[in-house]
Amino acid sequence: MQKKTLARKPGRPRAQSADLRARLLDAAIETFAARGIAAATLREIAKAAGATPALLHYYFKSKRKLVAVVLGERVEPFVAASVAPLLDPMPSPRATLRRFLETHMRNIAANPWMPRLMVREVLSEGGSLREHMQANFSAVLSPKVFMLITAAQRRGEIRNDLQPMLIGLSLVSLAVFPFAAAPVWREVAKAFLHNVPASRQRGNRAPAATDTEALIAHTLALIDSALEKPHALLTH
């Protein structure tokens, strides 16, 4: 006697559900970074993930809840990874500051959507994440970086002729901007080198997506140079 095959009852999707949910979140964060949260639609997010709008609604119910999950599962872990060195300082304030900047750059390199999302939703007027990021990132970052800089100045580890708050702004900008502007400056570099005769390039080449280590090393060298005490003027 042949057994009847029972139809699966409606409910939670099977085995690949965790992978699908993660893929939907990845698509959401990329779409938000590229189009902005207000302009992005659930339909295009689902399409980018290779899913249906019904499945997206099944997991996240609404766009508002999807944004909340993106904040909790993508943005907040990013913030936690970046500020970790500030919460576990080294004996040297300058070394702690340098480790924070390197950690932040590596975190951005691993999550290239973050600077694009920041520009759209935090730095732009009316950005929907501005208040959230100010409360959950800037509120931790700014005071700790300020205190590190002032402590390093008191200990004579860095130059003390500059304002600590402006030093912090300059250093964070120096660490973040190359990643935020990467699509532009890499194209500019390619065009520039294309017009320079090979004999004059001296081994230079257009930066590639794998040049992260070179970019981080270059930026840290600039940071080290910027923090050094200015040489005393020679008098004659």
Q: In the prediction, which pLDDT does 199 show?
A: 52
Verify that 37 and 132 share a domain, yes or no: no
Range of the domain at 99: 76-227
Contacts of 227 (CB under 8 A, 6+ apart): 94, 152, 157, 158, 159, 167
* Each residue's pLDDT tens digit, 61-111: 999 999 999 999 999 999 999 999 999 999 999 999 999 999 999 999 999
Residues 222 and 124 in one domain: yes
Higher pLDDT, 145 or 182: 145
d(CA 234, CA 144): 36
Cα–Cα distance between 174 and 226 in angstroms, integer?
11
Cα–chain center distance at 89: 21
Q: Which residue has the higher pLDDT, 187 or 223?
A: 223
Would you say residue 1 lies in a domain?
A: no
Does residue 84 sit in the same domain as residue 22?
no
Domain count, the chain: 2
State whether 81 and 50 are in the same domain: no
Q: What per-residue confidence (pLDDT) applies to 233?
A: 40
> pLDDT tens across 6-28, in order?
444 455 555 467 799 999 999 99
Q: Does 235 reside within a domain?
A: no
Shared domain check, 88 and 55:
no
Residues 198 and 146 in one domain: yes
CATH number for position 30: 1.10.10.60
User: What pTM did the predictor assign?
Assistant: 0.81
Mean pLDDT, rounded, of the chain: 84
| Same domain as 85, residue 47 | no
CATH code (residue 193) = 1.10.357.10
